[in-house]
C-alpha cells in the first residue's frame, strides 16, 4: 500500500510539473511579438521541467526501494560506508556532473537559446534542444549534431 502511495504521489508530481510547464509556455505563444522572450522562457521552462522530473523519479525510486526490507538493510549498510563510496562515486561521476552543471548554466545564463542560429564545425544550424548534459543542433540539411559540455 505504501509503495502504491509513493508511486501515485510521484506520478501526480510529474504530471503537475508538466502541466505547470505548459501553462508557463502558453503565456508566450509562438506567434507573439517578443520572440526572444518566448525562447528564453521556453529554454528555462524545459530545463527546469527535466530537472524536476529527474529529481522526483530519483526520490520516489529511493523511497519505494526503502519500503522493501532487504533493500533497506543494504541501504543502511551502504550509508555506514558512505564516505569511501561517496569519494569513488564522485570521481566516477565527475564528467557527468560537469555536463549537468554546464547544461544548467547554459539554460540559466542563456548564451544560446532554443531556435538560435549557430555555426558549429563549419556547419550552420539551429539550436533544437538544450538538455541537462548536451545541446542538439539541427544542421541545415536536417542532420542532428549533439554537443556535450566536456570536450575531453
Tens-place pLDDT, residues 46-89: 888 988 998 899 888 888 888 888 877 776 666 666 666 677 77
Residue 89 lies in a domain: no
**CB neighbours of 150 closer than 8 A, spacing ≥ 6?**
95, 98, 99, 102
Within-domain flag for 43 = yes
Does the residue 149 lie in any domain? no
pLDDT in tens, 80-114: 666 666 777 777 777 777 777 777 777 777 788 88
| Cβ-based neighbour number of residue 124 at 10 Å | 11
What is the residue range of 71's domain? Answer: 2-80
Largest Cα separation within the chain, whole Å, is 58
Residue pLDDT, tens place only, 18-35? 999 999 988 877 776 667
SS3 123: strand
Contact 111, 102 (CB under 8 A): no
Q: Is residue 63 part of a domain?
A: yes
Q: Which three cell numbers stand for residue 142?
A: 536536417
Does some domain include residue 19? yes
In a domain, 120, yes or no: no
Specify if 45 maps to a domain: yes
Question: Can you tell me the distance from the alpha carbon of 107 to that of 13, in angstroms, rounded to the nearest whole number?
Answer: 22
Residue 88 in any domain: the answer is no
The count of domains in the chain is 1
**Do the beta carbons of residue 17 and residue 49 sit within 8 Å?**
yes
In order of 18, 57, 71, the CA distances from 62 in angstroms are: 22, 8, 10
Amino acid at each position: 500500500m505504501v509503495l502504491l502511495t509513493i508511486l501515485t504521489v510521484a506520478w501526480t508530481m510529474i504530471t503537475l510539473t508538466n502541466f505547470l510547464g505548459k501553462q508557463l509556455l502558453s503565456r508566450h505563444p509562438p506567434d507573439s511579438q517578443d520572440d526572444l522572450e518566448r525562447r528564453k522562457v521556453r529554454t528555462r521552462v524545459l530545463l527546469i521541467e527535466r530537472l524536476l522530473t529527474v529529481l522526483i523519479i530519483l526520490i520516489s525510486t529511493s523511497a519505494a526501494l526503502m519500503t522493501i526490507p532487504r533493500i533497506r538493510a543494504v541501504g543502511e549498510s551502504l550509508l555506514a560506508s558512505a564516505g569511501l563510496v561517496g569519494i569513488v562515486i564522485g570521481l566516477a561521476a565527475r564528467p557527468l556532473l560537469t555536463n549537468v552543471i554546464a547544461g544548467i548554466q547554459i539554460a540559466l545564463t542563456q548564451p544560446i537559446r532554443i531556435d538560435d542560429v549557430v555555426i558549429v564545425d563549419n556547419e550552420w544550424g539551429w539550436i533544437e534542444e538544450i538538455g541537462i548534459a548536451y545541446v542538439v543542433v539541427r544542421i541545415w540539411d536536417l542532420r542532428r549534431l549533439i554537443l556535450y559540455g566536456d570536450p575531453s
